[in-house]
Amino acid sequence: MNNENHPDLYHISLFGITHMQQHNPLMVAWWSAVFPGFGHYLLNQYIRAALLTLSEVTINTLAHINEAMIYSFCGQFEQAKSVIEPRWAFGYLVIYLISIWDSYRSAVYQNKLYHLTKLKNVTLPRIGVFSSEIQYLERKKPIVGVLYSFFFPGLGQLYIHRFGLAFYAIFWWWVYLTLSGLHESLLTLILGDIHKSTIILNPHWLLFMPSVMGGSIYHAYITGVEHNKLYCLSQRMELTKRYGSNKLRLFP
């Protein structure tokens, strides 16, 4: 089958490995719901994903969505209604829902592209040497990426060579840490003052953090798993090309 017009399964660039993979579209949609943009990160659409996350943080802050969520989960619906800013909330809702739908739709389409591309069967390089970086596929331990991102979101992305995203995430984690007061609150909690540790926290900025950490862990994990698959596939093609024509005669 001639698949000449279809792109490669992955591409090694200065910024890391961009690849196609088999997705569960519902999982991609779920991560978009957790944090708009995260679904698109999973789809390797890094620029639009980053822009979506910037839009999420900005509009969420202007519309006080996180505060309204906290009041709603606590059953204080009157306060939820009064804290939310209608000027920003409706637009927020539209972007939020469309980004979920868009990532779902893209995942369905990328699955088809992945299927087509996989049939193409060409050897791809596993290493790229650039003037300021060396990027390569290697066999990863996905659980290491999980631990990195658990200790500081963004480090898992460093482990899978996606350094642009890594430092973007690290920068934002510092922002969240500073504005939420999480580390000070943790210290107070460890020292035994539960009441004071709650007061220190800024609810709005704290509520971003579980989503960001979860997303960073998930992204590092599945990307590690996919890199392993791509590595094996590519190595297999290369070794088959080199040794595949040799015939084995054990019983002459």
Q: Are 43 and 25 spatial neighbours (Cβ–Cβ below 8 Å)?
A: no
Distance in Å, CB of 252 to other proteins, minimum: 11
Q: Which is nearer to other proteins, 2 or 12 (by Cβ)?
A: 12
Minimum Å distance from CB 110 to other proteins? 13
Spell out a b/e string for 37-70, using b for 16 or more CB atoms within 10 Å of the CB, else e: bbbbbbbbbbebbbebbebbbebbbebbbbbbbb
Which residue, 87 or 247, has its beta carbon nearer to other proteins?
247
What are the residues binding other proteins (CB under 8 A)?
22, 24, 27, 30-31, 34, 69-70, 72-74, 76, 138-139, 142, 182, 185-186, 189, 194-195, 197-198, 201, 203, 206-207, 209-211, 213-215, 217-218, 221-222, 225-226, 231-232, 235-236, 239-240, 242-244, 246-248, 250
Nearer to other proteins, 104 or 132 (CB): 104
Q: What single letter denotes the amino acid at residue 217?
A: I
CA–CA distance, 215 with 35 (Å, rounded to integer):
8
Residue whose CB is less far from other proteins, 6 or 141: 141
Q: Confirm if 162 and 216 have CB atoms less than 8 A apart.
A: no
Q: Are 28 and 39 in contact (CB under 8 A)?
A: yes
Q: How many angstroms separate the CA atoms of 136 and 245, rounded?
A: 28
Q: Which is nearer to other proteins, 75 or 87 (CB)?
A: 75
Q: How far is the CB of 210 from other proteins (least distance, A)?
A: 4
